[in-house]
Amino acid sequence: PQYTRGTVTAFAPFDARADAEALRKAMKGMGTDEETVLTILTTRNNAQRQEIASAFKTLFGRDLVDDLKSELTGKFETLMVSLMRPAYIFDAHALKHAIKGAGTNEKVLTEILASRTPAEVQNIKQVYQQEYEADLEDKITGETSGHFQRLLVVLLQANRDPDVGVDEGLVEQDAQVLFRAGELKWGTDEEKFITILGTRSISHLRRVFDKYMTISGFQIEETIDRETSGDLEKLLLAVVKCIRSVPAYFAETLYYSMKGAGTDDDTLIRVMVSRSEVDLLDIRREFRKNFAKSLYQMIQKDTSGDYRKALLLLCGGDDD
């Protein structure tokens, strides 16, 4: 789909060779001119960054990403290198690193598989196979277990019903099934939650959530919170939140990546980069509405240096 709610759009007039030359000059010799690097990379879109990398290699016989890695350090380096990752491979790469080696990063699996559209998930699976010569579903099932694993597998099928009109009878039925599987049952029937939340259409589920509230007196999130725990709970909640509003889900994800002691920079970088050309304007609006401050202000308060400058440029403005 053509997303138009990003903060980063195609830069014009664009000259890949001029940008490549400016970047080479910024990194050549003693010391690096970080300002030039961050300004160019945050104001060109991903397709243009790929053209710059190609021009860089053509002109200098050097790999731009390798140069960035050797000249920059820390979170700023991570952010710049993330911006250079080709858009089509971004999610597949994040998943690959979430399931490699010791310990699985469930947070990344949850965030990506709960929020991407069925078409995006199909694409991720294809790219994963091409790039890593491995089956994403096999990799994920090898590293996860229980109901958490089953819901991930359901989401990986990318077979959610299309949005084509809502059958109120089925809405009522699903709401009742969820009520009986959760609040009314001693021990929860997680499978019912997995099937209904993982396969019904978005517009159908939004009606189911309203109906569930009417029947039970609870928001579905409250029931999930009480009746499930651990990774499954986090994934079910992420799925529900994304069905209600993907931008609101990411606003909350960004908020909690910065709230409290210490910042979860991996999440902050991943969300800012992956949504910058998709819906970051909508995320900013939801952030301002739900957290009594703007995303811009929170980044400003919570980060520093060139890393902060680059994130603020990606953010694209304040909302006060």
pLDDT digits (tens, 9 = 90+) for 292-317: 999 999 999 999 999 999 999 999 99
Distance CA 145, CA 295 (A): 35
The pLDDT of residue 3 is 63
Please indicate, yes or no, if residue 193 is contained in any of the structural domains: yes
Please indicate, yes or no, if residue 45 is contained in any of the structural domains: no
The pLDDT of residue 38 is 97
* pLDDT value at 77 more than 80: yes
What is the identity of the amino acid at 126?
Q
The pLDDT of residue 101 is 67
The pLDDT of residue 96 is 96
Question: Is there a contact between 92 and 57 (Cβ–Cβ < 8 Å)?
Answer: no
Boundaries of domain holding 183? 168-244
Percent of the chain with pLDDT over 90: 91
pLDDT range class, residue 262, cuts 50, 70, 90: confident
* pLDDT value at 52 more than 90: yes
Please indicate, yes or no, if residue 191 is contained in any of the structural domains: yes
CATH code for the domain in which residue 186 is found: 1.10.220.10
pLDDT range class, residue 139, cuts 50, 70, 90: very high
Please identify, among 228, 244, 260, the residue that sits at the C-terminal boundary of a domain. Answer: 244
The pLDDT of residue 260 is 81
Mean pLDDT, rounded, for 287-296: 96
Please indicate, yes or no, if residue 137 is contained in any of the structural domains: yes
What is the identity of the amino acid at 304?
S
Distance CA 8, CA 313 (A): 9
Instruction: Note whether 140 and 175 are same-domain residues.
Output: no
Please identify, among 123, 157, 191, the residue that sits at the C-terminal boundary of a domain. Answer: 157
Question: Is there a contact between 271 and 254 (Cβ–Cβ < 8 Å)?
Answer: yes
Instruction: Note whether 179 and 238 are same-domain residues.
Output: yes
Least confident of 107-111, 179-183, 253-257: 179-183
How many domains is the chain partitioned into structurally?
A: 2
Please indicate, yes or no, if residue 195 is contained in any of the structural domains: yes
Instruction: Note whether 146 and 180 are same-domain residues.
Output: no
Task: Compute the mean pLDDT over every residue in the chain, rounded to the nearest whole number.
Answer: 95
Instruction: Note whether 141 and 203 are same-domain residues.
Output: no
Q: Residues 150-164: pLDDT tens digits?
A: 999 999 999 999 998
What sign does the dihedral 136-273-194-168 (CA atoms) show? negative
Q: How many CB atoms lie within 10 A of CB 41?
A: 24
Q: Residues 170-228: pLDDT tens digits?
A: 999 999 999 999 888 777 899 999 999 999 999 999 999 999 999 999 999 999 999 99
Supply 192's token pair: 């019912």
Please indicate, yes or no, if residue 11 is contained in any of the structural domains: no
The pLDDT of residue 188 is 81
Instruction: Note whether 149 and 172 are same-domain residues.
Output: no
